[in-house]
Structure formats: C-alpha cells, structure tokens
C-alpha cells in the first residue's frame, strides 16, 4: 500500500511517501508560484503510481489531483502528534499564514486560531525584512548570535519594512534589527497561542521558520513551555499528517 501526503504551501511544496505504513521517502521543492508544477515534481520524485493513494493539503490543495483533500489544520495536528506523541500544542508559521492548534488527549484538533488575513505574523514578514537587510534567512542564527534586539513596532509587513529602512538610515546594526524582527514575530505568535488557552504541556513547532533556533528559544521563553522541533521532519508535519489520514482512509 503506497500513500502520498502532499502539502502544497505558498513557498514550498512538501511530499512524503508511506509504504506499508512506514515513512520511506520525503521531498521538498520550492513552489515558485506554480503549485501544480511543484506538486508534479514531488510526485515524480516520490514515485506516484496508479494505485498510490494521495491526500493533499496546504493552500494549493484543491488544484491537485488527489483522492482526498484535507485542510492544513487537521493535517498538522495528525502529523505533529505522529512525530511527537507528547505534544498538546502546535505552532506553524508558514509563508502565507500562521496557525496555532490545540490537540486533545486523542490527538484530535480541539481548537485552532489562524492569523488575520494579512502577512503580519507569517513567514513572509521575516522573509521580506531579511531581504530588506540583504541577509540570508537560512543563516539567520549565525548572523544574530551576538546581536542586541531593537524593537520593531509595526506589525504590518509593509510598515515594518519602512521602519527597518529608517533604522538602517539611523545607523542601527543590521544584526540588531534582524533579532528585533525575530522578537516581534515570536511575541506575535505567542499571543496567538494564548488565544487558545494553553495551560501546560509542550509545543510542536513546524513550518519553514521552525529551523531558526533563536526563534524556537524566544517562543519557549515567551510561553514558558518547552518547544519541540524536529530537525529532519518539522517542515513535513502537514504532509505526514495528510499521509496518515490517507492511511486511515485507504484501509
């Protein structure tokens, strides 16, 4: 039995293949504005065959030929609890949106909250500001290792961009601004999490920004809960969840 879970995100497209109940391969490609093409690439790489059961999720989920379509909320809950059975909350910061999810003792979604409909609090916020600073998002931990954060007041991505440009104009250090950007998004996502009444337990951090170690630490400090991040699979949580749903459905 072959099942593919495909997470069609705005920035990256992720896919995982389960064979006979085991995760056997994974693939991540850049979406580059063409979710169909990106999905085809992932399917080819994972070896989609005629009898492969496919579940799609993510913002491009409906554009693809899939056996089942499930939202990223349900998939993230299924995927994150598969990767770590002991978590009660999930934070996902994606390119286009951010979400917080509370799961119950049966690993089902009990409550969730998504960001408002603008780019504030999403991966795009950090991406745009790092571009303004002309720094590589992938190496941000290194870049800010000795920085002192400067407060970024604007929540809006566009306003924050002009705020950052003014700060550069005033001669502020770029790494201090970058750390300020991380503080801003950490506080925003922590507030979002507080809206679903976190009591105790631990948090699973997924999505493209979860590789930023500093951000994981900042969120953990804000919320006062351990934040779990899977170096290898965090970004695949949605795809894994989709595949797990596929496994249940195709049985």
Partner 1 sequence: MRIKTELPEIFEEFDEARRQGFIQVKQLKEKGVPVIGVYCTFMPEELIIAANAVQISLCSTSDETIATAEEDLPRNLCPLIKSSYGFAKTDKCPFFYFSDLVVGETTCDGKKKMYEYMEEFKPLYLMQLPNMKNSKAAFDLWKDEIVRFKEKLEAFLDVTITEKQIREAIHIKNLEREARKNFYGLGKINPTIIKGSEIFKVMYGVNYTFEKDSLIKKLNDTTKLILEQDSESIKPQFEGTPRILITGSPMGGVTEKVIRAVEENGGTIVGFENCTVAKAVERLVDEEKEDVYEALAEKYIDIGCACMSNNVSRFALLEKMIEEYEVDGILDMVLQSCHPYSVESLKVKRFCQEEKKVAYLYLETDYSTTDIEQINTRVAAFIEMLEE
| Nearer Cβ to partner 1 (122/220) | 122
> Is residue 114 near partner 1 by the rule CB under 8 A?
yes
Identified binder of partner 1 from the candidate list 18, 53, 89, 112, rule CB under 8 A: 112
What's the min distance (Å) between Cβ of 181 and partner 1?
24
Enumerate residues 59-98 that contact partner 1 by CB under 8 A. 59, 70-74, 97
> Is residue 147 near partner 1 by the rule CB under 8 A?
no
Identified binder of partner 1 from the candidate list 1, 21, 47, 108, rule CB under 8 A: 108
| Nearer Cβ to partner 1 (48/76) | 76
> Is residue 116 near partner 1 by the rule CB under 8 A?
yes
- Residue 133 and residue 164 in contact, taking contact as beta carbons nearer than 8 Å: yes
- Residue 198 and residue 102 in contact, taking contact as beta carbons nearer than 8 Å: yes
| Nearer Cβ to partner 1 (56/132) | 56
| Nearer Cβ to partner 1 (29/110) | 110
Interface residues toward partner 1, by CB under 8 A: 59, 70-74, 97, 108-114, 116-117
């Amino acid at each position: 039995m072959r099942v593919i879970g495909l997470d069609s995100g705005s920035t990256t497209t992720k896919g995982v293949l389960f064979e006979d109940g085991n995760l056997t391969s994974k693939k991540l490609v850049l979406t580059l504005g063409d979710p169909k093409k990106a999905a085809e690439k992932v399917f080819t790489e994972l070896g989609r065959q005629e009898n492969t059961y496919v579940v799609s999720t993510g913002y491009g989920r409906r554009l693809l030929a899939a056996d089942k379509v499930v939202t990223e909320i349900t998939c993230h809950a299924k995927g994150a609890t598969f990767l770590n059975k002991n978590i009660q909350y999930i934070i996902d910061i994606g390119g286009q949106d951010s979400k917080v999810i509370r799961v119950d003792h049966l690993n089902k979604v009990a409550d969730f909250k998504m960001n408002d409909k603008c780019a504030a609090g999403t991966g795009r916020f950090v991406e745009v500001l790092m571009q303004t600073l002309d720094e590589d998002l992938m190496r941000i931990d290194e870049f800010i290792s000795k920085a002192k954060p400067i407060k970024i007041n604007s929540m809006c991505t566009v306003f924050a961009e002009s705020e950052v440009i003014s700060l550069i104009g005033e001669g502020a250090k770029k790494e201090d601004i970058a750390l300020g950007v991380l503080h801003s998004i950490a506080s925003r996502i922590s507030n979002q999490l507080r809206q679903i009444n976190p009591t105790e337990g631990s948090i699973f951090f997924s999505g493209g920004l979860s590789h930023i170690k500093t951000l994981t630490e900042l969120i953990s400090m804000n919320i006062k809960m351990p934040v779990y991040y899977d170096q290898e699979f965090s970004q695949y949580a949605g795809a894994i969840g989709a595949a797990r749903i596929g496994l249940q459905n195709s049985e």
